[in-house]
Amino acid sequence: MESLVAGRHRYIVPVNSVGDADGRGLAGRNWPRAVEVSHERLGDQDVDLVILQRPEEVELTERLLGRRPGVDVPAVYVEHNAPRPSPVDSVHPLASRTDIEVIHVTDFNRLMWDNGAAPSRVIQHGIADPGYFYTGEVAAAATMINEPLRRWRTVGTDLVIEVGASMPIDVWGIDTLELNDRPRAGRVRGKGDVPSARLMRQVARRRVYFHTARWTSLGLSLVEAMYLGMPVVAVASTMAPLVVPPEAGVVSADMKTLTYALQGFVTDFAAASLAGKAAREFALAHFSLDRFLDQWDRAIEEHCR
């Protein structure tokens, strides 16, 4: 969302009195081209395109705008997630709609979802370059996971615990402090939910980034770590094998290989630094904000003709 509203358009963000998932608004963010509009006033807005992100928003849009998405007002649906519950047999909620395009955030997602009759395309993540902050001065691995205990195997928390028996791993994100109270967590240290500006510099002080998710589209934290100039060791699932080139780190489904790779980078700063520079070069070439906004501009223009 932060990348999207960096474009040249005017972005309307719904807000309601309770600030729930249907009306969270800007939540204090400074997005100059985005404006909050209350639910009560949405129907008066001149809307060119609706961007949907949840199945229930089709009905919600009709109720709040008084216009049917895909029929009375152009609409696209951004699918952020890998298919669930089945990796191959999950039918997308909009599969029967020919009037709403599904925009996937990775090629893997588009391949694996059954999109049915719905038109689809891929607009891969793009983020503003946070800068080359890597120092690697702390001989430990870093990872960023929200709600690691609740989401457990999906985000690979069990793998963090397993590797943490033999080396230090620092974990940032929502509810990560709970890891510090978990028995047999080894050398895993929960660092909490830290504001982004501080977070990037803290993570970049660690020697290597560990991407653990078993089932995710493509965690933005992985892309951010690559931008920072960190070498990456990643679980070979979903899009990770396609976005971590060999010169930038190690991708494997074998736990011994992942553990050895992490230990290797932690003990060899020169190798870690070299791989991190390759990771940053790849991120700059493939996840630039300009490319992302150009692709979104084309999609918006196509739907608003």
The Cα angle at residue 219 between residues 94 and 11, in degrees rounded to 5: 60
H or E element in which residue 172 lies: strand 169-172
In the chain, % helix, strand, coil (3-state, to 5) comes to: 40, 20, 40
Q: pLDDT, tens digit, for every residue of 72-121? A: 999 999 999 999 999 999 999 999 999 999 999 999 999 999 999 999 99
pLDDT at position 82: 95
Domain boundaries, the chain: 4-126+289-303, 138-286
H or E element in which residue 274 lies: helix 269-286
The CATH code belonging to domain 138-286 is 3.40.50.2000
22, 16 in Cβ contact below 8 A?
A: yes
Q: How many CB atoms lie within 10 A of CB 181?
A: 9
pLDDT at position 183: 79
pLDDT at position 197: 83
Question: In the chain, what is the straight-line distance between the N-terminal and C-terminal CA atoms, in Å?
Answer: 23
Q: pLDDT, tens digit, for every residue of 35-49? A: 999 999 999 999 999
pTM: 0.92
Cβ neighbours of residue 182 under 8 Å, at least 6 residues apart? 149, 161
Residues β-bridged to residue 69: 73
Torsion region of 259: left, alpha or beta (phi above 0 gives left; psi -120 to 50 gives alpha): alpha
Could you tell me the strand order of the sheet in which 138-144 lies?
A: 188-192, 169-172, 138-144, 206-211, 232-235, 249-252
SS3 category, 163: helix
Counting as low any pLDDT under 70, the low residues of the chain are none
